[in-house]
């Protein structure tokens, strides 16, 4: 499935377009898939990396994705300058958010600096979304499918799947204000906005 999508992006010039937009995306992309599982909760608005370490992302919808099964929420234009999280909050930047419903096969090209958040999947099926990404110019592998010996690897997303990681995640899910406060405070000293 990922290979078919990758070949299609190449044939249709989408990979060239990404290199045109961001010439440092010289190598092959890392291949990933965001699985939004039933029962997921709203993520907090974030960038995927620090502002000055930005990279390109091509998301391909594998299934029709709507407000029920968790279409991503984005803030158009929010990649143009850097906001520390506390600035983001005080300026109310998140108010201009927009859900992005899509049909299977649609491609979203964005830079990691675009603020966005995963949304709850209210359906009873996982929502897959392919992610081709060019962190630091792309993969070290000449063949993107050679990543991890060609095997599928399940990776945790935000929180470690340890007792401590789960405790932190549960706390933030049950009382999001604790996470907001933590991010607000740490953003005064750090340039992380995720
Ligand atoms: O799955 C999504 O819709 C977005 C997830 C996301 O932004 C993330 O995990 O960083
Ligand atoms: Fe993200």
Substitution site in 33, 34, 106 for ligand 1 pocket (most atoms within 8 Å of beta carbon): 34
pLDDT-wise least confident of 17-31, 50-64, 155-169: 155-169
Per-residue model confidence (pLDDT) at position 51 = 96
Give tens-digit pLDDT for 117-134: 999 999 999 999 999 999
pLDDT at 2 over 90: no
Q: How far is the CA of 17 from the centre of ligand 2 (A)?
A: 22
CA–CA dist 44, 179 (Å, integer): 9
Percent of the chain with pLDDT over 70: 100
Helix axis angle for 2-11 and 14-21, nearest 10°, is 70
- Span 76-91, mean pLDDT? 96
Atom of ligand 1 nearest to the CA of 158: 9
- Higher confidence at residue 55 or residue 150? 55
Taking the CA of residue 48 as reference, the ligand 1 atom at the shortest distance is: 10
What is the H or E stretch that residue 99 is in?
strand 98-99
Ligand 1 pocket list (CB less than 6 A): 34, 36, 48, 70, 72, 116, 118, 129, 157
pTM for this entry: 0.94
What local confidence, expressed as pLDDT, does residue 88 receive? 96
Q: How far apart are CA 154 and CA 156, in angstroms?
A: 7
Strands across the sheet with 98-99, in order?
A: 98-99, 73-74, 116-117
Mean pLDDT (whole number) for 83-100? 96
Shortest-distance ligand to the CA of residue 41: 1
pLDDT band for position 149 (50/70/90)?
A: confident
Per the listing, tokens 């999001």 go with 176
Residue 157 per-residue DSSP state? -
Position of tokens 């706390």?
171
Output the CA 172–ligand 1 centroid distance in Å.
Answer: 17
């Amino acid at each position: 499935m990922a290979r078919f999508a990758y070949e299609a992006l190449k044939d249709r010039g989408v990979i060239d377009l990404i290199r045109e937009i961001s010439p440092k995306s010289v190598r092959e992309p890392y291949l990933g898939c965001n699985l939004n599982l039933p029962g997921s909760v709203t993520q907090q608005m974030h960038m995927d990396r620090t502002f000055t370490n930005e990279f390109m992302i091509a998301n391909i919808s594998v299934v029709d994705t709507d407000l029920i099964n968790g279409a991503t929420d984005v803030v158009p234009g929010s990649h143009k300058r850097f906001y520390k999280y506390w600035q983001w909050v005080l300026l109310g930047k998140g108010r201009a958010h927009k859900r992005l419903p899509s049909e299977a096969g649609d491609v979203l090209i964005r830079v990691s600096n675009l603020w966005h958040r995963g949304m709850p999947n209210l359906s009873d099926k996982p929502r897959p979304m392919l992610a081709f990404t060019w962190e630091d110019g792309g993969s070290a592998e000449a063949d993107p499918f050679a990543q991890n010996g060609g095997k599928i690897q399940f990776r945790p997303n935000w929180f470690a799947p340890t007792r401590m990681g789960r405790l932190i995640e549960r706390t933030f899910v049950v009382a999001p204000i604790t996470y907001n406060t933590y991010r607000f405070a740490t953003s005064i000293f750090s340039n992380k906005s995720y």
